[in-house]
Structure 1
Amino acid sequence: MAAPQHEQTARNRILNAARDLFAAHGFHQSAMAELASAAQVSVGQIYRLFKGKEDIIEAIVASDAHDREAIILSLQARLNAGEISIEQTFELLLLEMMDNPHEALYFDILAEGFRNARVGGTIADMCARLRKSLGAFACVANPALSGEALKGAEEVILACLFGLGHRSLSVPAISAQRTAKRAASMIVAALRSMD
């Protein structure tokens, strides 16, 4: 029983160290020896748990997707319980996306998704699951949404999440909190105006 627990601990240390290292130096510029040192494991241990950097990137995407899904489920439960409005739901979701200490890493991962079909597939799977939840939120704002209008709403909301998740390079003029509040209001107003 201790061996699987030890492997999971080592795996988590590798993923956490990879996030920091890949964000600071880039995916391709980071050596496995650097990663092993940062994670306090051997290079052999990395290769016992992952086939290579591609597997590490896929594991990071899968882990982050799992974390986002948990956040979305929590927001859905709070919305359904009447604790928060649909505007607050979008605001909290947008704030979560903007609170990204590894923003540079995600640019690298997105670029790798274009070069590497496996990584691209992992990202596409994550987006498909996100669309389903975003569609449910869109229907709370406008229960009449269906078909192509609903699919379009999902795409626009997903684009807002991606864009605001990478806003630091644009040197924003207002805080993340104010941006999230205004963006949430605009998203809900747009959804309510759709036929």
Structure 2
Amino acid sequence: MVQAARELFAEHGFHATSIARLSERSGVLVGQIYRDFANKEAIVAALVEHDLDEFLAADELCAARCTSDRAMVRAWIARFIACDDIGDTRLIAEITAESYRNPRIAAIFDAMEDRLHGQLVRALTIIVPDAGNEQRIGRLAEAILIMAGGMCQRRINTRSTAPEVLALMMAFIDAEIAAIERDPRP
């Protein structure tokens, strides 16, 4: 059912996709859909949560955390910024647009941003574990979110970005990490 919603939202948009159309495409009865999801926003939340889980590759980050493997964490951050596996760009554009019109979808996006920020802070703390860096690590995590968001938007619009751009972003991140290691003060 969620896959049918993904396809229909991408093809027809959020508003033009009715629960009846979802039922028809998925083969799931309308009553069952409403037992599983309170409304279309709940379906969007399920889509975003699933995609975010895949995008974050949390298992990989957890493995890096357990071993304190800085190179693995850096590679995870590079993949995060590269935004190579963003999926159906039509769906992303539709849900993003809906987040500006619909406070419930906006709340889903806010929760996603908080979760992404938290994962980035955890990743950066593996690389720079010294206490006292919380503010700077938080700001660097925010900068990484902005870079990744820009890269994703670029991929939605043009579907490609030169590898040199990612290298430049990673050089900035590496320089900021080195600066935090040299002087951990806020």
Q: 1:121 to 1:172 in 2, by over 3 A?
A: closer
User: Within 5 A, what are the aligned runs for 1:117-156?
Assistant: 117-143=103-129, 146-156=133-143
Give the structure 2 partner of residue 64 of structure 1.
51
Deviations, residues 145-195 of structure 1 (Å, cap 9, x unaligned) = 7243222112111122222223224425645x6654553343223332355
2:7 matches 1:27:
no
Provide the alpha-carbon RMSD of the alignment: 2.8
User: Which amino acid in structure 1 is aligned with residue 81 of structure 2?
Assistant: L
After TM superposition, the score normalised by the length of structure 1 is 0.74
In structure 2, stretches of 5+ residues that fail to align are none
Tell me the distance in 1 between the aligned counterparts of 2:156 and 2:114: 27
2:98 matches 1:112:
yes
Cα deviation for residue 90 of structure 1 reads: 1.5
Cα deviation for residue 43 of structure 1 reads: 2.8
Give the structure 2 partner of residue 160 of structure 1.
147
Q: 1:174 to 1:163 in 2, by over 3 A?
A: closer
Cα deviation for residue 141 of structure 1 reads: 4.0
Q: 1:186 to 1:38 in 2, by over 3 A?
A: farther
Number of residue-to-residue matches in the alignment: 179
Cα deviation for residue 59 of structure 1 reads: 1.9
Give the structure 2 partner of residue 49 of structure 1.
36
2:61 matches 1:75:
yes
Q: 1:27 to 1:88 in 2, by over 3 A?
A: same
Tell me the distance in 2 between the aligned counterparts of 1:181 and 1:124: 28
Moved more, 16-25 or 160-169: 160-169
Checking the alignment, whether the CA contact within 8 Å between 2:55 and 2:85 is kept in structure 1 is no
Checking the alignment, whether the CA contact within 8 Å between 2:81 and 2:166 is kept in structure 1 is yes
After TM superposition, the score normalised by the length of structure 2 is 0.76
Cα deviation for residue 135 of structure 1 reads: 1.1
Cα deviation for residue 89 of structure 1 reads: 2.4
Checking the alignment, whether the CA contact within 8 Å between 1:36 and 1:46 is kept in structure 2 is yes
Q: 1:55 to 1:167 in 2, by over 3 A?
A: same
Q: Aligned residues: percent identity?
A: 27
Give the structure 2 partner of residue 3 of structure 1.
none
In structure 1, stretches of 5+ residues that fail to align are 1-13
Cα deviation for residue 83 of structure 1 reads: 8.3
Checking the alignment, whether the CA contact within 8 Å between 2:61 and 2:123 is kept in structure 1 is no
